[in-house]
Amino acid sequence: MANDSRDSPEAPQRPRYIVRNAKYALQPQPPREAVVENLINRGDLVVAYGEAGSKKTYVFVCSVGVCVASGKDCMGFNTHKTKVLIIDEESGERRLSRRLAEAIRGELCDENIDLEYVSLANFKLDDPTDAVILQSLIEESGAGLVIIDALADIMDGDENSKQDTQPVFSALRKIADSTNAAIIVIHHSNKAGGYRGSSAIAGAVDLMIEVKSEDGNSFINFKTVKERDIERLNWAAEAVWTEDQFYLRAVPARVKTTFSKSENYVIRYLEEHQSASMDDIMDHADTCSPQAARQAVYALTSRGKARRIDGGGRGSKAIYGLTLEEL
């Protein structure tokens, strides 16, 4: 149903604040309602970010949106069925409709799931009027989960500026609190792999999720990098496309092993020479001290990344090689 809210009369002015007291605080408060169990609750403000090609739109706009709207599990998480409203400022109606149709069919759902979407409405949340219009739209829809794609499209200011990003996230915070809807904002990574923009973004949200997936690779890794109400999480999924369907399948997370500068030297030296004595490893250390190389051999051995291959024994010269497992 088409409805241009910008042609409607201006929404009534809401009070700027309400003064509460200790008696109010001590009243029984309603329990927090989960949208995605152990991850996202009603009223949460969430940012999910990733590089281009990381499939973040397919994951959060399509798969999470469809699963929550239908009450189906998503990536191994239980969901609580609730109305979903998607604010699309990036894909456009045709592309988003096609992707949503793939996700709906992929979850074996039909037209009766409780999901609505608005494309290219040009909401700018650094404009107070637009923030009021968006809040009214959420209230009218009764949505418990709102997904916005993407942050750069809902602000006129510079996302690298604290002064410009704070009004946007203040508006989102007030909307989430007033409507009791969880709000997920899709965002982009910077060249270093972190989220793009001001540090004020992380400070303003309840949860920040990093999405990593190489373009053309179906494996997607997720980790929380900021959380207020949950434990730090790391999980993974495989994106599955068929002829006209899309869905996510939970798979074990792949945690990339990192090594110190001296450990990297030892790995490189053993890769080049297949095996080497401790003396040889120490004598040829070029990016660290000999003693650091010695400690790195012991550290790699204890982590199962290197092993002693000479058989050991009193008086025998220690010879080391890499293990056969993938580093």
**Mean pLDDT score, 213-224:** 90
Give the pLDDT score at 309: 85
Report the DSSP pairing between strands 234-241 and 246-251.
antiparallel
Range of lowest pLDDT (110-119, 165-174, 286-295) = 286-295
**DSSP alpha helix (H) spans, 146-226:** 162-179, 200-204
Give the integer Cα–Cα distance in Å for 42 and 24. 21
Token pair 């790195």 is at which residue?
A: 296
Q: Which of 205, 230, 209, 227 is nearest to 45 (CA)?
A: 205
Instruction: Give the residue carrying structure tokens 């204890």.
Output: 302
Residue 313 phi, psi dihedral angles, 5° rounding:
105, 150
Which residue ranges make up each domain of the chain?
Answer: 30-251, 261-322
Identify the three-state secondary structure at position 132.
helix
Average pLDDT, the chain: 90
Separation CA 325–CA 306 (nearest Å): 10
For residue 150, the 8-state DSSP code is: -
Per-residue pLDDT of 148-165, as tens digits, reads 999 999 999 999 999 999
* CA 30/CA 23 separation, integer angstroms: 15
Q: How far is 21 from 55, CA to CA, in rounded Å? A: 46
Percent over 70 (pLDDT), the chain: 92
pLDDT at 325 > cutoff 70:
no
Q: Residue 111's pLDDT is what? A: 96
- 30-251 placed in CATH 3.40.50.300: yes
- Per-residue pLDDT of 255-264, as tens digits, reads 666 788 898 9
pLDDT classification of 225: cutoffs 50, 70, 90? very high
CA proximity to 63, closest of 219, 215, 223, 240:
240
- pLDDT band for 313, please (50, 70, 90 cuts): low
- pLDDT higher than 70, residue 11: no
Q: How far apart are CA 122 and CA 7, in angstroms?
A: 14
pLDDT tens, 180-206?
999 999 999 988 778 999 999 999 999
Asked whether the bond before 182 is cis by omega within 30 degrees of 0, the reply is no
Provide the b/e sequence for 81-111 (b: ≥16 CB within 10 Å). ebbbbbbbbbbeeeebeebbbbbbbbbebee
CATH topology assigned to domain 261-322:
Arc Repressor Mutant, subunit A (1.10.10)
Q: Sorting pLDDT into bands at 50, 70 and 90, what band is 50?
A: very high
Separation between Cα atoms, residue 185 and residue 56, nearest integer Å: 11
Q: What pLDDT, on the 0 to 100 scale, is given for residue 6? A: 46
pLDDT at 253: 82
Q: Give the predicted TM-score (pTM) of the model.
A: 0.75
Digit-coded pLDDT (tens) for 108-126: 999 999 999 999 999 999 9
Distance from the first to the final alpha carbon of the chain:
54
